[in-house]
Amino acid sequence: MAVSLNIFIVALSLIAFSPLCLSSKAYESGSYLFPQYYDHSCPKAQEIVQSIVAKAFAQDPRMPASLLRLHFHDCFVKGCDASILLDNSGTIISEKRSNPNRNSARGFEVIEEIKHALEQECPETVSCADILALAARDSTVITGGPSWEVPLGRRDARGASLSGSNNDIPAPNNTFQTILTKFKRQGLNLVDLVSLSGSHTIGNSRCTSFRQRLYNQSGNGKPDLTLNQYYGSVLRKQCPRSGGDQNLFFLDLVTPFKFDNHYFKNLIMYKGLLSSDEVLFTKNRESKELVELYAENQEAFFEQFAKSMVKMGNISPLTGARGEIRRICRRVNHAAY
């Protein structure tokens, strides 16, 4: 009877989480992830991740945005394999040194704290890649955003790609078409681009990431005409032509610590902080319509954001015998001792 029940449960999970739900890249690789992956091997895994994310948020309200960004920057480079977490070693050049991550990516110590707690609970079971995916979901929820079931079962990479991090992650000054092309390379589409960009409803950006918009957007010594003039004058006070590179600014100036749809409302008012934000409203008709939809209908944004996060989390995961389950997230196992 127990065997029959187990077969029935597996069959149900196969129906609920069929490959149709996966991104094309995940489907092509034959990978298979499902939310119940740790139900028997580490039943407290999700509870442990959630509690440590909550503690980190209580200590630092910026942390949820940082953890969400780590998952995004991980998945866009060789897939969701925790390569972003690896430090330099004899054989690895860390992605932490790339232009998108240097002096910017943060939250690594929270991931290591989660990993340490999970190793105490169930050694060598929960991957760092899955920790990133769960922490991203929990960071969204704790700041007021939607929840979703996270497909699990990823394994961890034994290497990193500095060039991939430099070339594959969308940059603040990329054109709309370049950003869309980078998303399409990952099996994501324009709807995913607009909804996932909505994660900029929380978090900060540095002066160096948008200075060009304030002073010399098109190489003619003039500011970006799609930036609200008053907002631009406010930004220039703390982001001078030179110096202040690391000065921080809210991506959403209205509700910077709340996951909501104000990001899209800001774009309609030409108050997107980054060029890569504002182009969603100014450079493409279909994306503009989505911005207007999400600005009007937060529920529609939340629903699509959850779907797109699952889709992004399924980019080229390592499964089966590929990769490993790292004991320490910042280094591969053979270098751990």
pLDDT tens, position by position, 87-141: 999 899 999 999 999 999 999 999 999 999 999 999 999 999 999 999 999 999 9
Q: Half-sphere exposure (CA, 13 Å, Cβ side) for 332?
A: 18
Q: For residue 33, what are its two tokens?
A: 């992830």
Please check if 260 is assigned to a binding site.
Answer: yes
pLDDT score of 223 more than 90: yes
Please check if 255 is assigned to a binding site.
Answer: yes
DSSP structure class, residue 324: B
Single-letter residue type at 107 = G
Q: What percent of the chain has pLDDT over 90?
A: 88
Range in 18-22, 152-156, 333-337 the model is least confident about: 18-22
| Calpha distance 147→140 (Å, rounded) | 7
| Calpha distance 129→82 (Å, rounded) | 5
Please check if 79 is assigned to a binding site.
Answer: yes
Q: Can you give the pTM of this predicted structure?
A: 0.90
262 carries an active-site annotation? no
| Reported confidence tier of residue 14, pLDDT bands at 50, 70, 90 | very low
Please check if 178 is assigned to a binding site.
Answer: no
Q: Which of 40, 71, 73, 116 is catalytic?
A: 73
Please check if 130 is assigned to a binding site.
Answer: no
Query: Average pLDDT, stretch 139-155?
Result: 98
The tens digit of pLDDT for each residue in 311-330 reads 999 999 999 999 999 999 99
The tens digit of pLDDT for each residue in 272-321 reads 999 999 999 999 999 999 999 999 999 999 999 999 999 999 999 999 99
- In terms of phi and psi (left: phi > 0; alpha: psi -120 to 50; beta: otherwise), the region of 272 is beta
Boundaries of every domain in the chain: 42-202+250-312
| Calpha distance 188→181 (Å, rounded) | 9
Pairing of strands 204-206, 248-250: antiparallel
- 42-202+250-312: which CATH architecture? Orthogonal Bundle (1.10)
Quote the pLDDT of residue 234: 97
